[in-house]
Amino acid sequence: MEHNSTSYQDRIKDFDWSISEKELGYKRGDVLNIGWYCSDRICQMGKADKLALVWENSAGEERKFTYNDVRRTSNSIGAYLRSLGIKDGDRVCLFMDKIPELYIGFLGVLKIGAIAQPLFSAFGDESLFVRLKDAGTRAIITQRKHVSKVRKILAQLPSLERIIVVDHDGKKPLQEKEVAFSIYDGKGVESLDIFPTTAESPSVLHYTSGTTGQPKGVKHVHYSLISQYLTAKWVLDLKDSDIYWCTADPGWVTGTSYGIIAPFALGVTQCVQDVGFSAEGWYKFIEKCKVTVWYSAPTAIRSLMKAGDEAVKKYNMSSLRHLCSVGEPLNSEAVIWSERVFGLPFHDTYWQTETGSIMITNLPGMKVKPGSMGRAFPGITATVLDIHTSEPITSPGKVGLIAIKPGWPSMMRAYWNNEHAYKGKFKNNWYLPGDRSSIDSDGYFWFAGRDDDIINTGGHLVSPFEVESALLEHESVAESAVVAKPDQINMEVVKAFVSLKPGFNPSGDLELEIMNFIRKKLSPLAMPQEIEYVKSLPKTRSGKIMRRLLRAKEWGQEIGDTSTLEDDE
């Protein structure tokens, strides 16, 4: 099967987002509801009986849903939420593993005009609480295995009125505000009045980590579909005949933009594996499902590399025709390795929660330069700004701040309840993602690092502030600072520097206790992989901890200016 061979130059010439609008049959001012576009519309196109979702869990149990199943099941979920009093604009949290109810429930929430708030199911009660409280969430859809986390924080969340358990087995009684709902009980709802959302109606609220404050709720609107549809068609090269696998969890933006919205809007068949990572498990899944297009993350690719070439050879990978990567920089070794073992390079894609869709990328047919993020997607104006003057850099190879001209369809419209932070993302009419890069003479971007303290561990952003705040709740911790530490597989992992209160002594047991405390409170991703006990932390004269010095030490970098460091005496 050949790639879409239109050249990059042809794509950018006379580009307009109306290309996407026309293909989707959307005219400015029309009702625009992502839930309808991803299910009812596909059925109306004659694909009602086409497989939409093939799901498999760790026990090998499999479930399949046609587009008509997705339409009726999302109608059922929407109708049920309405019956509970959920209305347009209400925030509904989806707090589940990668089960069908998560993928289809997302569309059901959108169909009634409510705002979908997907959260990573490995979050602990503290991470969950902060995000539900900030959003003023009215309902949460979850599973038996996660409901205890919700119960722990329920008393502190007066706005949370309903807890919907999708797999209640009747063995243990439901508790306060809990109701049971199963998508497998009935035949689905044939007809649902779709709420008439328009382009600027809010759709999704995704939480992303902040450097110096609480996580921020990134608000997207239904018009994001225009970007997500076209980038998936042109970058992921999705065609009607494809079997697609996006390995990302819908708790993160990749898992919603390209794991729910884009593939369903394009009417392709996608596979989902609700299983922990294993190289052989992944290869077996690709072989079994005959996956053609695969969208994954550099951490997973590096883990596959570590498992060795022999593991690949045991399985038939011949169905694969296009590979893409997202979440963190894709090192050149991974591209060279994939070309060797799969006969295909991974195409890097650069974007983030706030952009909603792919911004800088390697389009199919474009020359892939291993280690480069590629070029700006058609319709996206991107550059790098001088760190001191904030003017665009004209000389190739010089590192500056990545900057994107606002106005693409899937750009975030706000940070929830945080106008100040939102305005801080823009400067001189440029949107600043917070990353540094250079651009070569061919217009290819080369990632150089974050411009803040956010830790990118395996493609997931972890806030040092959030981990530090949680560490201080442990009885032994007097002060803490959290930085990124280099890691061969995850690129970066969390390292904590801790000074202990009097009466507590450093020990391996205490280290494990603190690690587990964070894992349960926040998430396994936020758990420090190493704790270094220190007598005191480096601070500025105003008392601010200088994470920069600790990070430089971990990465073997120059310490730089220490003129603001408080005196040691």
Domain boundary assignment for the chain? 8-437, 455-555
pLDDT digits (tens, 9 = 90+) for 94-114: 999 999 999 999 999 999 999
User: Which whole number is the average pLDDT over 208-225?
Assistant: 87
pLDDT reported for residue 2: 47
Q: What is the pTM assigned to this prediction?
A: 0.89
* Residue, of 68 and 459, whose pLDDT is higher: 68
Question: From residue 290, how far is each of 40, 91, 234, 346 by CA, in Å?
Answer: 26, 37, 21, 18
Would the pLDDT of 543 be above 70?
no
Q: In CATH terms, is domain 8-437 a member of 3.30.70.1150?
A: no
User: Which whole number is the average pLDDT over 322-335?
Assistant: 90
pLDDT reported for residue 502: 87
pLDDT digits (tens, 9 = 90+) for 477-524: 988 899 999 998 888 999 999 989 889 999 999 999 999 999 999 999
pLDDT digits (tens, 9 = 90+) for 414-425: 999 999 999 999
pLDDT reported for residue 233: 97
Stated as kind and residue range, the H or E segment containing 83 is helix 67-83
In the chain, what percentage of residues exceed pLDDT 70?
A: 96
User: Which whole number is the average pLDDT over 7-22?
Assistant: 91
For residue 68, give the amino acid letter.
N
**509: burial class by Cβ within 10 Å (0-12, 13-18, 19+)?**
exposed
- Asked whether 107 and 34 are in contact (CB, 8 A), the reply is yes
CATH: 3.40.50.970, 3.10.20.310, 3.20.20.150, 3.30.300.30. Which one for 455-555? 3.30.300.30
Would the pLDDT of 566 be above 80?
no
User: Which whole number is the average pLDDT over 185-210?
Assistant: 93
pLDDT reported for residue 158: 97
Would the pLDDT of 294 be above 50?
yes
Question: From residue 216, how far is each of 49, 203, 210, 420, 545 by CA, in Å?
Answer: 40, 16, 6, 11, 22
- Where do we find the tokens 């019956």? 83
* Alpha-carbon span 128 to 425, nearest angstrom: 25
Would the pLDDT of 214 be above 90?
no
Would the pLDDT of 568 be above 70?
no
pLDDT reported for residue 567: 45
User: Which whole number is the average pLDDT over 426-438?
Assistant: 94
Would the pLDDT of 153 be above 90?
yes
- On average, the pLDDT of the chain sits at 92
* Crossing angle (nearest 10°) for helices 125-135 and 144-153: 70
- Asked whether 492 and 455 are in contact (CB, 8 A), the reply is yes
pLDDT reported for residue 538: 86
